[in-house]
């Protein structure tokens, strides 16, 4: 019996000892990836000339505040520093990373690394220095293409970011805080991630340690291929907090190709404003589950209008690619060929339809619709707990509503307030029906039940709101 217990204890101890060893054996070895790719990764330092705006030149440890031209303190500072030896123009330096994509010196990096630079220096792992020039830079994608005068350079292998799976190991090489060719590793946390300030980039999210100076460096998979360009981090401290974002390499290379050929980037354009479909909106539109991009406005004279898209349509697929969240649509449209056709699968009034749209080029800039002002004939809709009115001709002109609409002049406690309606909202559609005026809205509300949708203009922006009329 005692012998049996000893044997059992030995087996248990061996299992405990072998377990961690087997787990460690399954971890990837990044040494070969680092050796193979580091020669093609560069440190980038940029300089911007100082002494702008005629400010006085001082030693670097002194800083004079920007003062109005007529400030009496200007004379005081001039008198104090009179006779001081003139110092050279101060230069601000920024550090980033990049990687060589062709043997003749083309290097990919981030737009924000080289933006407004007067001089760009590139340094390789073998300490070779080159001065680079900007071929082109695209702020919207945060991609820049620079070039050095060299031949026979080591290059990275370009992979694919489309097939990246959550949980797979990845490696980053860069120069965090100026520490050249630092290597960090982690896993892919999410794909197709949308950030508030970036409409045309479906980021790869990782937990790879990325810090200032890593920007523009490569994100590499276990096959030794670059799948992304490290671009951003989410941080409340300025340092790494476990959330890093990389630009998919297909998008980056497409941008680089356009920058090399024409110096600018052409993006596809539909001409719609869209929003996400939440659970309540899904119920109001008769969907089994939330998905797709809900069209809240169709711009006049755009491909979307020509194709017949309407507010309230839900774009379910773009060129056959399913849309889970509205944020997935802009990158699909933006990367489409300008002048080419695209097929939209939409849901309209509960029915599936297909529309063909001719993709145009995204125009420069844009305009917002001002919020409407003034109101007449206030009317109470007790069922919602709101007061509405028709729009005056002036308010209609300001809001660019050719007809219809009802303006919320007051929102009290009630179903409207619970749904998120606010004073100043203009209701354009209610329960998928165009609102002809305040009285018409009252009729639509009285006849409706369950969960319905309302299309409102809020500060000039269209927004669908789901309202539960049964409380």
Catalytic residue among 138, 142, 221, 425: 142
For residue 191, give the nearest of 359, 379, 324 by alpha carbon.
Answer: 324
Go through the chain and tell me how many residues it has: 471
| 314-318/321-322 β-pairing | antiparallel
Active site residue 29: no
How many CA atoms within 13 Å lie on the side-chain side of 234? 14
For residue 98, give the nearest of 285, 231, 232 by alpha carbon.
Answer: 231
- E runs forming strands in 331-460: 341-348, 351-358, 360-361, 376-381, 386-390, 406-411, 426-430, 433-434, 451-458
Catalytic residue among 45, 137, 215, 284: 215
**Alpha-carbon span 317 to 321, nearest angstrom:** 5
User: What is the SS3 string spanning 248-270?
Assistant: EHHHHHHHHHHHHHHCCCCCEEC
**DSSP-derived 3-state class of residue 11:** helix
**DSSP-derived 3-state class of residue 80:** helix
Alpha-carbon distance values, 52 to 49, 60, 180 (Å): 8, 15, 31
Active site residue 142: yes
Catalytic residue among 38, 112, 235, 291: 112
Helix, strand, coil content of the chain in percent (nearest 5): 25, 35, 40
**DSSP-derived 3-state class of residue 233:** strand
> Do 179 and 241 meet the contact criterion of CB atoms below 8 Å apart?
no
User: Containing H/E element for 202?
Assistant: strand 198-206
Torsion of CA 122, 124, 130, 134, to 10 degrees: -40
> Do 237 and 122 meet the contact criterion of CB atoms below 8 Å apart?
no
**Alpha-carbon span 123 to 306, nearest angstrom:** 51
**Alpha-carbon span 187 to 181, nearest angstrom:** 20
Active site residue 291: no
| Catalytic residue list | 112, 142, 215
């Amino acid at each position: 019996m005692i012998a049996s217990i000893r044997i059992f204890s030995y087996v248990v101890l061996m299992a405990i000892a072998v377990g961690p060893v087997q787990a460690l054996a399954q971890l990837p070895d990044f040494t070969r990836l680092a050796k193979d790719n580091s020669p093609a990764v560069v440190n980038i330092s940029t300089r911007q000339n100082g002494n702008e705006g005629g400010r006085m030149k001082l030693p670097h440890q002194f800083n004079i505040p920007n003062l109005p031209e007529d400030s009496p303190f200007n004379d005081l500072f001039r008198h104090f520093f009179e006779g001081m030896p003139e110092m050279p123009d101060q230069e601000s330096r920024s550090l980033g990373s990049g990687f060589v994509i062709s043997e003749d010196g083309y290097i990919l990096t981030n737009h924000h690394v080289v933006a407004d630079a007067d001089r760009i220096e590139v340094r390789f792992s073998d300490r070779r220095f080159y001065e680079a020039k900007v071929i082109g830079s695209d702020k919207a994608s945060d991609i820049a293409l620079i070039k050095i005068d060299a031949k026979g350079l080591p290059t990275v292998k370009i992979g694919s970011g489309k097939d990246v799976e959550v949980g797979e190991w990845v490696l980053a090489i860069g120069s965090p805080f100026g520490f050249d060719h630092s290597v960090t590793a982690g896993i892919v946390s999410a794909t197709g991630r949308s950030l508030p300030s970036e409409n045309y980039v479906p980021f790869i999210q990782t937990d790879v340690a990325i810090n200032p100076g890593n920007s523009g460096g490569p994100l590499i998979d276990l096959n030794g291929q670059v799948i992304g360009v490290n671009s951003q981090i989410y941080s409340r401290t300025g340092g790494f907090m476990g959330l890093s974002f990389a630009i998919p390499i297909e998008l980056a290379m497409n941008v680089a190709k356009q920058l090399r050929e024409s110096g600018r980037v052409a993006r596809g354009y539909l001409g719609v404003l869209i929003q996400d479909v939440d659970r309540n909106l899904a119920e109001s539109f008769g969907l089994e589950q939330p998905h797709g991009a809900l069209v809240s406005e169709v711009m006049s004279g755009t491909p979307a209008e020509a194709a017949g898209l309407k507010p309230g349509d839900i774009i379910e697929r773009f060129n056959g690619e399913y849309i889970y969240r509205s944020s997935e649509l802009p990158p699909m449209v933006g990367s489409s060929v300008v002048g080419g056709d695209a097929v939209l699968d939409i849901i309209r009034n509960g029915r599936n339809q297909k529309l063909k749209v001719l993709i145009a080029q995204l125009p420069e800039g844009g305009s917002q619709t001002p919020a409407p002002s003034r109101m007449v004939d206030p009317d109470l809709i007790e069922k919602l707990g709101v007061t509405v009115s028709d729009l005056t001709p002036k308010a209609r002109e300001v809001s660019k509503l050719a007809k219809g609409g009802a303006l919320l002049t007051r929102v009290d406690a009630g179903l409207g307030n619970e749904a998120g309606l606010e004073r100043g909202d203009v209701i354009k559609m209610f329960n998928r029906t165009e609102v002809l005026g305040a009285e018409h809205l009252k009729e639509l509300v009285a006849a409706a039940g369950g969960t319905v949708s309302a299309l409102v203009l809020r500060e000039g922006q269209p927004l669908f709101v789901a309202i539960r009329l049964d409380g």
